[in-house]
Amino acid sequence: MREQFASVLHPTAREVATTEPAQRRPAPRRFNLSSLGATTFLFVFAMYFLVPYFWLFVSATKTGRDLVTTFGLWFAPHFNLLANLQFLFRYDHSIFVRWLLNTLIYAGIGAVVGTVLASMAGYALAKYSFPGRTFVFTLVLGSVLVPSMTLALPLFLMMSKVGLTNTYWSVLLPSLVSPFGVYLSRIYAAASVPDELLEAARIDGAGEFRTFTTIAMRLMMPALVTVLLFQFVTIWNNYFLPLIMLSDEQLFPITVGLTNFRFLAIPGSLVSTIPLLISCIILQHYWRNGLGTGSVKG
């Protein structure tokens, strides 16, 4: 009985260990004006991006008459989203499906190949010493500042000289070049790929290409995912280049096709945003992993 009474008065080490973390929990943060300002800033920007998308979804559920007679940010009495989508995908022998596949080809191939080329160029500029390296990087940095629309007409003249206008290649080939991707890859490779690790791989007998693909590309993955997403979104939203390069509507991407059939624009625009949302959701996993790796290294 005395031992039981003593155990009540003096808890064991296990009980102390289980109660200590609860006692050491940090107190909740107090409200301050700085957190209110940051929250308000984020809320305003969230509304700035979400309200137009909500309007697009609401408008895609309406008929042409409802678009004029009802409030833009709320639904009409009749929900016609399924009927509008059926009309979109069946119109003119499913021409919208062809535009969607064309856009996936342009954006998918252009983003993947462009990211690989940009990563190789950025890695070479960061890790190899050769004459004119600074000059080449200066040209790349300067080309980032050049608007893409100013290059559309020279590209059209070049493509017409070799007979590639009105083909898939006339849109694909210019999409493979990403000055911003080269710039970001060069900066990230210089900061995240240790020279000692590359030297160790060379001592073990790995070639330069194998060293790049097995070591450098894995360390550069957060930057490569960023370049891939930027390329994909840029090519997906590209309008002016395919407009002047293509004349066959069977080769049109979504951006050009929907402008020729404006009554399909609202439901077509809603459908065209779905691949972009899926890409952001999938690729953000690699961003989180890259940030976590950097925090552990730090």
- Position 6 pLDDT exceeds 50: no
Q: What is the pLDDT of residues 180-235, one digit of tens each?
A: 999 999 999 999 999 999 999 999 999 999 999 999 999 999 899 999 999 999 99
| SS3 assignment, position 184 | helix
Domains of the chain (ranges plus CATH)? 85-297 (1.10.3720.10)
Q: What pLDDT does 224 receive?
A: 93
Look-up of token digits 């007998």: 205
Q: What pLDDT does 282 receive?
A: 84
- Amino acid 297 reads K
Identify which of 106, 103, 248, 243 has the alpha carbon closest to the alpha carbon of residue 174: 106
- Amino acid 67 reads L
Tell me how far apart the 2 most distant CA atoms of the chain are, in Å. 102
Q: Is the pTM of this model over 0.85?
A: no
Q: What pLDDT does 65 receive?
A: 87
- Position 13 pLDDT exceeds 50: no
Q: What pLDDT does 293 receive?
A: 46
Please answer whether residues 191 and 294 qualify as being in contact, where contact means their C-beta atoms are separated by less than 8 angstroms.
Answer: no
Q: What pLDDT does 97 receive?
A: 95
- Residues of the chain with pLDDT > 70, as a percent, come to 85
pLDDT bin (cut points 50, 70, 90) of residue 171 is: very high
Determine phi and psi for 187, rounding to 5 degrees. Answer: -65, -45
Please answer whether residues 193 and 126 qualify as being in contact, where contact means their C-beta atoms are separated by less than 8 angstroms.
Answer: yes
- Position 288 pLDDT exceeds 70: no
- Position 9 pLDDT exceeds 60: no
Q: What pLDDT does 25 receive?
A: 60
- Position 262 pLDDT exceeds 90: no
The average pLDDT across 235-259 equals 93
